[in-house]
Structure 1
Amino acid sequence: MNTIKYLALPLLTATLIMTGCASRKPAAEITTGTTPNSSTTVNTEGLSEDAALNTQNLAGASAKGVTAENKAFLAKRVVHFDYDSSELSNEDYQTLQAHAQFLKANANSKIALMGHTDERGTREYNMALGERRAKSVQSYLVTNGVASNQLEAVSYGKEMPINPGHDEAAWKENRRVELNYEAVPPLLK
């Protein structure tokens, strides 16, 4: 009987982690030809809930806080990390600063910070590392004036690799935080 208790607790914990962190699905990227001030309605019939929300958000994109200087940095939506690290690199500060400026100028903007790892390590360790990476980006943005209610940190661990390879080049691509605008993304046209 005690053996069952000891086996059930880790299984229950893993189940809770999986349903709490991995149940969030990223919105599909959809582009539309509408502009924020157009009176055109966007037909979202037949799209999934996430895709419909993303389509509506793109139709409501904002140019406020977008400058010629920060446009290229706002287009970058991925921050990469070194092996077994949640430390931001110097090259990512300008990207995150541009996103911080945009988010401060657009209080209705919301962004999901989705942490990922490479395939090495246990699932539990990688879920925690992905969360530390997402929280590291979140901390930087909050320190630079972004309201915490505009940010959501989520970890996918090693469950959603960008590159399915099993070498250093693939692992380097997979160690990342994706910045996914869920409401009022930057208008970069």
Structure 2
Amino acid sequence: MFAYIKHGDNQQFLINMNCCVFQLLYYIRNKVGLPKTDTIDLCDESGTMKLFFLMKPPGEYAIKFLTARNTYYICRVKRGSPGTRLQNAYLAFVPLLKTPTPELIDALRSQCDMLEKSRLKTLKMQEAAQKVASAESSMKLPTISQAPQYPFPVLPLPLPATTHTSTQPLESGKRKKGRDSCQGP
């Protein structure tokens, strides 16, 4: 199975979709001449990102995410500068086309904004969880010496009486009858 990749000034090439996503992105980077440090992804003609750069297992096959004989555009994922407050922020998805359509740019911008909002929401939830965990760890829990003292001794509860209290096995040939018997009469 194959698909088309468009880039630059209406240039295109074929890709084999029957390979893992990691190999596919490596091939595309080399074919277009992008550095290994650039984060790239693909989007379809309507601007829907495939979000390959977020995949945890990069060994998944591209055929699961791409449609045969469709056209995809290469997009560079712009993140914040390292060492700054925005180092992990999603700043933009930039199509590597000479003249992208305004609809494509709008679709990519809205997806980038949604992804950044989701990242910030997750970050806030993690910070809140850390605050709760630190507050719980700073609370003083009573120690054994501070445990309440009862004015009476605490005794263990008696065990319920059973019908067969002997530790000796039943005599051979005799079967226990009743509800607990697995065999018939």
Question: Per the shorter chain, which TM-score range?
Answer: under 0.3
Instruction: Calculate the TM-score normalised by the size of structure 1.
Output: 0.20
The alignment's TM-score, normalised by the length of structure 2, stands at 0.21
Query: Rg bigger for which structure?
Result: 2
Tell me which protein shows more strand as a share of its residues: 2
